Amino acid sequence: MIYTVTLNPALDCFVRPDEFLPGGVCRYDSARFLPGGKGVNVSLLLKSLGAETVAAGITAGFTGRELTALLGRAGCPADFMELHKGLTRVNIKILPKGRPETALNGGGPEIALGDLRPLEDRLARLQKGDLLVLAGSVPGSLPEEVYARLMGAAPRGVETVVDTSGPALIEAVRKGPFLIKPNLEELGEVFGERLEGTEAAIAHARRLQELGARNVAVTLGGGGALLLTEEGRLLERAALPGREVSSVGAGDSFVAGFLYGYIKERDMDKALDWAVCAGAATAFSEGIAQGEQVEALYRRHFLIEN
């Protein structure tokens, strides 16, 4: 079972005005609300692929309850701890016709360390062989080592995947996660550098392995993706051809595809194949892709018929 944790989930609101004029009155027909947050996205795609998953984390207020309800309507089991005060953030995505997207991302509720105890109790009940995904930014009210702390709450034998950035990633890496997945920008941010090209990505990914990460996947946007395995292998994949609609959620889908492929095949090469298909399927879609879209790309690009 794959248990995902999102400490700062969101209710994503998509609006499509005919035009967007800052300072003016802009009208749109209707809004589309979707559950958001990196771990939430991972669980949504895993569920669509048929994998066993639970989306967990921290919610608050009526926006948090709507987030949970949306997951339920999508058939994705949820296990969120609800705070007594505050509201789960709302991210507004403005999509004017023929114009670039504008995102207004909200701040989440105030979370104290004590609020995490029910979540830590849940993590302590995971079983050997389960996978734990810790994904997304750390709320400002929590310390950067919070993911490292949550990793310590899970029993031995639970493999951990961490998808975050900055100091929170470094603190988690020191705990020896099974997999981390920075993109090129996040990888450079860890070391205070601006990285360009595959060679720089490989060199800095190796530095993260030296700090404790067992397997390091780096997404390179139009440059594809690479994976450094704990056995020392370097695996690379080119970006799949197609028309990008939105990059939002593509990295989360990459993680979901990797875990699906790893559980299905127990092979790092094939897991990376599934990962690039899942990331591309979401990049070619509005919102998180459906499992059948991922499977179609996998059949087209990687399935060799006997």
C-alpha torsion sign, points 274, 290, 288, 53: negative
Q: Residue 221: which region, alpha, beta or left (left: phi > 0; alpha: psi -120 to 50)?
A: left
Residue among 45, 72, 41, 39 at smallest CA distance from 57: 39
The pair of structure tokens assigned to 165 is: 């950035």
Q: What is the C-alpha separation between 50 and 2, in angstroms, rounded?
A: 12
Per this entry, what is the length of the chain? Answer: 306
Q: What is the C-alpha separation between 261 and 239, in angstroms, rounded?
A: 18
Q: Is 252 a catalytic residue?
A: yes
Q: Which amino acid is at 86?
A: G
Catalytic one among 163, 252, 267, 273? 252
The pair of structure tokens assigned to 287 is: 């919102």
Task: Give the chain's radius of gyration (CA, Å).
Answer: 19
Cα–Cα distances in Å, from 275 out to 45, 62, 134, 191, 279? Answer: 11, 34, 17, 25, 6
Residues 48 and 71 sit within 8 Å (Cβ to Cβ):
no
C-alpha torsion sign, points 246, 249, 254, 258: negative
Q: What is the C-alpha separation between 92 and 132, in angstroms, rounded?
A: 29
Q: Which residues are catalytic?
A: 252
